[in-house]
Structure 1
Amino acid sequence: MKAILSKLRPSKRLVFILSAALSVSAASGGAAVYVGRDRLIARLAKPAASGLECTTLRTLKLDHKGQRWIRMHVKTDRASGPDRVRTALRVVGALANREKADLYQVVVLDAAGPKDRAAVRGAAIGAEVLFAPGPQSVKGMDEPFRASYNAGSSNAAGLFQGKMVSLKLDEVRVIMAKMDDRSLCLDPSVANAEGADGGEGEQTLESVETPASH
């Protein structure tokens, strides 16, 4: 029996070679795990091409001097400026695919921001997108899109403390071309209004803010 075991016992050189090979293999495997983890973290940290989930606060359908304007106020929670404007661009595109209007306006607020319509101005606006399919017919619109966002973060009151950043038309087109989602925001009023009669809350106003007034 001892003679058999002595024949099966590997030489020191073979043991050294096998140990070195296993060490290299383990190191390579560990590196692969870390590389995979880094790629995953980078992918998760990358801004979503279509923006973030949002909630509709209100939708106003306005008759302004014979034109139809649709204005929507939506909210996001702890979103960065680029994510806010991507969200607004996604929503304005979804609106344009569903309803015909001369001007679409989407304003993104913080989840903790003001709820009253009159308070949706200034530092309360985290991002804003205006879209006019025929810009020549809408006062203040010399291009189809006007998109901007506040580069700062929001405070406890949901107000943004940063500079406004405007996007160029080419930047808007690149962002929208990369979108893989064309959905609207979650609208709590839709579920509550199921089965109820009546219109969609369309309003006719004698005086409405023009795009140039923002």
Structure 2
Amino acid sequence: MAAARRRLFHAFKISRKLALLAGGFLLVLGASGTAALVFAPASMMSGFSNTPGGHCKTLYQSEFKRDNEKRLIAVISTDDVEPLARVRTGVRIARHLAETLHPDLVIVQVADHRGPTTRADLRGQAIGAEIVHAPHPAKTLATTKPWEARYIDALSTEAGYYFGTRVDMRLTELEAVNQQIELVEGCDGDVVDEEPKTASAGGTAEPAGGHDKPAKAPSH
């Protein structure tokens, strides 16, 4: 009798795994539409944990000025699977950048850690979410809200691309996500072994504390 129960339990475990795998596969295949988000150059990345969820690495980060505003854009890659998990990580990084670098506007774009890493390829379906954060909305002309976010409502493919519909989140939803974040910190995959640098308007690197050149602000 005990052996029969063990066989029944084992069969249930297999069927449940198959159902989850099939559901995720159909979600990717059944999603339709594309998203037009903001994209930026990126450098190579590595060093992710095998355990999915919450791990990220900064691919690209740049500060620039627009109409006397200090703006910052960052592209991160993450191993988050679910769309809302990508948003949660993006919100956490946006808060970290706002609290440490004090820009008037922060834009964080989220890519998959298995996706492309070259500048030419980090566009279109390579971006799964975008978060815009204005710590003090009255200080920026880009938005009137403290938070904006949009994401692709689909799982990433094995190659790290997102194919699905674009969802724009409501401010109340983003405020709820923000309140749920207990620990605000940067990406755990970042390794700082030299003086931080940002990209200048001409595309070359300069020390982070250097003079910011005017640059055209990305649309979102």
3-state SS of paired residue (2:144): coil
Q: Which residue of 2 aligns with 1:62?
A: 64
Amino acid at match of 1:208: A
CA–CA separation in structure 2 for the residues paired with 1:112 and 1:200: 28
Q: Which residue of 2 aligns with 1:98?
A: 100
CA–CA separation in structure 1 for the residues paired with 2:118 and 2:209: 16
**Cα deviation per residue 1:110-165 (whole Å; 9 max; x = unaligned)?**
01222234543321111110011233443341211111211111123321011111
Q: Which residue of 2 aligns with 1:89?
A: 91
Q: Which residue of 1 aligns with 2:169?
A: 167
Length, aligned pairs only:
159
Give the drift of 1:189: 4.5
Give the drift of 1:102: 1.1
Query: Is 2:134 the partner of 1:132?
Result: yes
Query: Is 2:152 the partner of 1:150?
Result: yes
Task: Call closer, same or farther: CA 1:123–1:201 in 2, change over 3 Å.
Answer: farther
Query: Is 2:201 the partner of 1:193?
Result: no
Task: Call closer, same or farther: CA 1:195–1:152 in 2, change over 3 Å.
Answer: closer
Q: Which residue of 1 aligns with 2:180?
A: 178
Q: Which residue of 2 aligns with 1:42?
A: none
Give the drift of 1:99: 1.4
Give the drift of 1:78: 5.1
Q: Which has the higher helix share?
A: 1
CA–CA separation in structure 1 for the residues paired with 2:85 and 2:69: 30
Give the drift of 1:187: 4.9
CA RMSD of aligned residues (A): 2.5
TM-score (norm 2): 0.64
Q: Which residue of 2 aligns with 1:5?
A: none
Structure (1 or 2) with the larger CA radius of gyration = 1
CA–CA separation in structure 1 for the residues paired with 2:132 and 2:179: 17
**Cα deviation per residue 1:22-53 (whole Å; 9 max; x = unaligned)?**
xxxxxxxxxxxxxxxxxxxxxxxxxxxxx711
The answer on whether the counterparts of 2:64 and 2:215 sit within 8 Å (CA) in structure 1 is no
3-state SS of paired residue (1:160): coil
Task: Call closer, same or farther: CA 1:93–1:116 in 2, change over 3 Å.
Answer: same
3-state SS of paired residue (2:207): coil
CA–CA separation in structure 2 for the residues paired with 1:55 and 1:63: 24
CA–CA separation in structure 1 for the residues paired with 2:69 and 2:142: 14
TM-score (norm 1): 0.66
CA–CA separation in structure 1 for the residues paired with 2:118 and 2:213: 19
CA–CA separation in structure 1 for the residues paired with 2:157 and 2:129: 15
Percent of paired sites with the same residue: 30
CA–CA separation in structure 1 for the residues paired with 2:70 and 2:196: 26
CA–CA separation in structure 2 for the residues paired with 1:76 and 1:138: 28
Q: Which runs of 5+ in 2 are unaligned?
A: 1-52, 198-205
3-state SS of paired residue (1:75): strand
The answer on whether the counterparts of 1:91 and 1:184 sit within 8 Å (CA) in structure 2 is yes
Task: Call closer, same or farther: CA 1:87–1:195 in 2, change over 3 Å.
Answer: closer
